[in-house]
Amino acid sequence: MNQEPSPTACILPATEADLPAIAHLAGVIWRAVYPTIVTIEQIEFMLARMYALDKLRDEIRAQGIRFYRLIVDGQLMGYSSIGPTGTPGVCKLHKLYLRPELHGRGLGSRLLQHAEAEARGLGATRLILAVNKRNARAIAAYQRNGFTVAESVLTEFGGGFVMDDFIMAKHLKAVAPVFS
């Protein structure tokens, strides 16, 4: 355990104007954290595919995906995104990323719990995600927050790369009505 999260941390919705900063931060986090999980070549290939600005804009405009920014002391330090799956009541956590120097303070969990609340607010009763099987820190964070492994999947990403993932899932309690 490091130290308590900064009291100035807050989570805000992201707009298209925030996407360049999010894409830049993705590069910083992926290149710092993922070399122990996948090859550098795979990191660069996946970053170019997944964080191209046109791709991110399409996620917001056409796929109903929502992005959120974690701001600590006025700086963008993390982000998340959630979106529909095509199955009613099931929402997918697409992204959950925190700068490495802030890992181990509970801020990843805070970002995750915020995404859960947003999904619940959109009517979801189940939140799913894909995580690399070798990503022990992220798997631990998800388990700490009540997610369990639902299945194991090997997916072709393109470029000769595969993703060896767990699909994890959590049941979300329905939002209680404010008035009864």
Ligand X SMILES: CC(C)(COP(=O)(O)OP(=O)(O)OC[C@H]1O[C@@H](n2cnc3c(N)ncnc32)[C@H](O)[C@@H]1OP(=O)(O)O)[C@@H](O)C(=O)NCCC(=O)NCCS
Site for ligand X, rule CB under 6 A: 1, 4-5, 29, 33, 96-98, 103-109, 131, 135, 137-138, 141, 144
Whichever of 22 and 98 has its CB closer to ligand X, that residue is 98
Least spacing, CB of residue 34 vs ligand X, in Å: 7
Cα 166 to Cα 101: distance, rounded to the nearest angstrom: 26
Q: At what angle do helices 40-50 and 19-33 cross, to 10 degrees?
A: 170
Least Å from the CB of residue 115 to ligand X: 11
Question: Which SS3 state, helix, strand or coil, does residue 69 take?
Answer: strand
Give the shortest CB-105-to-ligand X separation in angstroms.
Answer: 5
- Judged by DSSP in three states, 130 sits in strand
**Alpha carbons 4 and 105: distance in angstroms, whole number:** 6
Nearer to ligand X, 117 or 174 (CB): 117
Q: How many CB atoms lie within 10 A of CB 117?
A: 13
Tell the smallest beta-carbon distance from residue 173 to ligand X (Å). 20
Measured from the CB atom, is 141 or 180 closer to ligand X?
141
What is the smallest separation between the CB atom of 48 and ligand X, expressed in angstroms?
18
| Nearer of residues 30 and 124 to ligand X, judged by Cβ | 30
d(CA 111, CA 62) in angstroms, rounded, equals 24
CA angle 175, 176, 180 (to 5 degrees): 145
Identify which of residues 104 and 146 has a Cβ nearer to ligand X in the complex.
Answer: 104
Q: Which residue minimizes CB distance to ligand X? A: 108
